[in-house]
Amino acid sequence: MPQDPQIQLIYADRGDDPDSKFFGMGRSPQIRVGEVSPATLSENLSRLCAAIGTAIDTVDLRNGNFCLSTFDVTVEITGSGEVRLNRRRIG
């Protein structure tokens, strides 16, 4: 029986080093290669998109003479297929 197709992920594993998560310090990350099922990734992406959609529905897109027409969202996919918003500092 053929195996379900998997999506290959290349990711940096920082292990259990708490400093590397909060301060960007600690041991160097190890590059790992993993696989995640399309179903898992699809479920996690769908959950994130639904949450973002709910948030947008509650926002007044017009403010004075300005109207929000687009915005960018950056996500991070973990080695287990978890999808997280990626915070990017502006300014």
- Tell me the pLDDT of the chain (91 aa) as tens digits: 567 789 998 888 766 655 555 555 556 778 888 889 999 999 999 999 999 889 888 877 777 787 777 888 888 888 788 888 887 665 5
User: What are the domain boundaries of the chain?
Assistant: 7-85
The whole-model pTM stands at 0.63
- Residue 30: its pLDDT value, please? 83
Q: How many other β-carbons are positioned within 10 Å of the β-carbon of residue 81?
A: 20
Residue 61 phi, psi (nearest 5): -75, -15
> What Å distances lie between residue 42 and 13, 33, 45, 75, 80, CA to CA?
22, 19, 5, 14, 13
Question: Do 79 and 9 touch, CB atoms closer than 8 A?
Answer: yes
